[in-house]
A and B are shown apart, each in its own frame.
Chain A
Amino acid sequence: MTTKHFACKADEVPQDAAKIVTVSNMPIGVFRLEDGFHALLNICPHKGAALCEGPVCGTTRQTDSTEFVYDRAGEIVRCAWHGWEFDIRSGEFLVDPSVKTRRFDVSVEGSDLYVHI
């Protein structure tokens, strides 16, 4: 069972970075993507760093040649410490999707943003 917790006002979440909140004693990053809001635990599964405080960016798409296709702009967060790349929607580490940070459902009611824990 998940419980809905108030996290912040929706308009406090910027476009290009996470809004860091503490909900139920848990550090959480809330992101604004084109398809809506997403929330990840702000703890990197690698070394426990503040994952969500790293840059929100894109990355190179896997290719079969020496071409650099910059892809998924705004959909990736790079951990603030060691730069591991995580999919903001799923919390999965790009190199090894079995490594992931916890993600939470988000809902908005009026101007209030809630995460479901």
Chain B
Amino acid sequence: MFIVDCDCHNYWCSATVLEPYMEGLFKDMFVRGERTGPRGAFPHGHRPWFHPEGFARHDVNPVEEDDNYLIMKAKHLDKYDIDVAILTGDEPIEASTLANPYYANALCKAYNDYLIDYWLPKDDRFWGSIVVAPQDPHLAAAEIRRLGGHPRIVQVLVSHGAARPYGDPFYHPIYEACAEMGLPFAMHLGGQGGINSTPIGAGPSTFFWETHAILPQTAMTHMASLIANGVFEKWPSLKVVVIECGVAWVPSVLWRLDANYKALRKETPWLKRLPSEYFKDHFRFSTQPLEQPENIQHLWAALEAMDGENTLMFASDYPHWDYDDVNKLHVPPAWREKIFGLNALDVYTRLPRPAAQAAE
């Protein structure tokens, strides 16, 4: 089976790998400035919850920088016969938490150059996401235009933690640039902290596991906002990929959006269709971490209600603690080929189609 992993984290041992890609003021800040942790920590505004065990799997223990790839190759890519791995970085999306948008942008640019220089040439299976700092949408758009034409870059990535809902016209320069470069806009769970001060409605929850389970609420906000603000009317070709934010909640939010739109469509006269119709054409959700009810039929009913056969894309989240195993992903058997790989081909149009597909 052709497998595209839509969330494969290329780790580093130390963020000092970015030093060669920085210069001037921001290099000085990066090398000598205060940061969240010891030398080698990536600058970011931290969240008020600490993972009690750390994010990475405990059987993934790189010592040298090159170990990060070698372990990924052995324990993930080769082991599961992954055909395409969409690299999603790791800490760089946390640049979204910094108040200084110029520093945040410099960090993202350094990461993107490092990604293209260090990671992408390592393996034919690698395709990249350029990370942008959305707190200055014009700088983010410039970065999208700077690197968005690279043949092995397949998406623009931000954290789902944000200073305001992503449909806000404030962010529209980002979508203009994405549409121009033909790249999907992706958000990945993260960026809760710093200027992104409202990841949890009603205020910060207490424990890490409790918080992690309810973090999808931010993604609900973004999904509603992108639809309501008419982003898909302005950029009809734009796709939005939501990574690691859960999926079973999607139908209930769509039902609520459709119901309210039917009564109050006059608030948003630029919309031409029901919210759920924009969703089906423009949103794609990564599967991991797929919800695990006792009765799988309960999950499958929800997946069917969100047209999961066409809107879901497999992701492993390697090497994180809530990793999903290729062989243990419980989706309807008839949908497996689409969810594991074919749906991704429609979103990441720069990916070559597998030989069997190309022949058809």
- Nearest-Cβ distance from residue A57 to partner chain B, whole angstroms: 9
Q: Which of B169, B269, B272 is the one whose CB lies under 8 Å from A68?
A: B269
Q: Mark B245-283, 1 if CB is under 8 A from A, else 0.
A: 000000000000000011111110110101000000000
Are A83 and B264 in touch, CB under 8 angstroms? yes
- Point out the residues of chain B lying under 8 angstroms from A65, CB to CB: 270
Within 8 A of B (CB), among A37-89: 46, 59-69, 82-85
- Point out the residues of chain A lying under 8 angstroms from B23, CB to CB: none
Are B233 and A59 in touch, CB under 8 angstroms? no
Are A85 and B269 in touch, CB under 8 angstroms? no
Specify the main secondary structure of chain A where it touches its partner: loop
- Point out the residues of chain B lying under 8 angstroms from A69, CB to CB: 269
A59 and B266 CA atoms in complex are apart in Å by 6
Q: Which of B230, B233, B262 is the one whose CB lies under 8 Å from A95?
A: B262
Are A64 and B270 in touch, CB under 8 angstroms? yes
- Nearest-Cβ distance from residue B318 to partner chain A, whole angstroms: 42
Interface size class of B (residues with CB under 8 A): 10 to 19
A46 and B274 CA atoms in complex are apart in Å by 16
Are B266 and A60 in touch, CB under 8 angstroms? yes
- Point out the residues of chain B lying under 8 angstroms from A85, CB to CB: 265-266
- Point out the residues of chain A lying under 8 angstroms from B233, CB to CB: 64
| A83 nearest in chain B by CB position | B263
- Point out the residues of chain B lying under 8 angstroms from A117, CB to CB: none
Of listed B233, B261, B267, B269, residue having the most chain A CB within 10 A: B269
| A93 nearest in chain B by CB position | B262
A96 and B272 CA atoms in complex are apart in Å by 11
Are B263 and A84 in touch, CB under 8 angstroms? yes
Q: Is A94 an interface residue (CB 8 A)?
A: yes
Are B270 and A95 in touch, CB under 8 angstroms? no
Q: Which of A63, A83, A93, A96 is the one whose CB lies under 8 Å from B270?
A: A63
- Nearest-Cβ distance from residue A66 to partner chain B, whole angstroms: 6
Are A82 and B269 in touch, CB under 8 angstroms? no
- Point out the residues of chain B lying under 8 angstroms from A64, CB to CB: 233, 270
Q: Which residues of A contact B (CB under 8 A)?
A: 46, 59-69, 82-85, 93-96
Query: Which 6 residue pairs of A and B lie closest in terms of their CB atoms, listed nearest first?
Result: A60-B269, A83-B263, A60-B266, A59-B266, A63-B269, A95-B262
List, sorted by A's number, 15 A–B pairs whose CB atoms are closer than 8 Å.
A59-B265, A60-B266, A60-B267, A61-B269, A62-B269, A62-B272, A63-B270, A66-B169, A66-B270, A82-B262, A83-B263, A85-B266, A93-B262, A94-B265, A96-B262
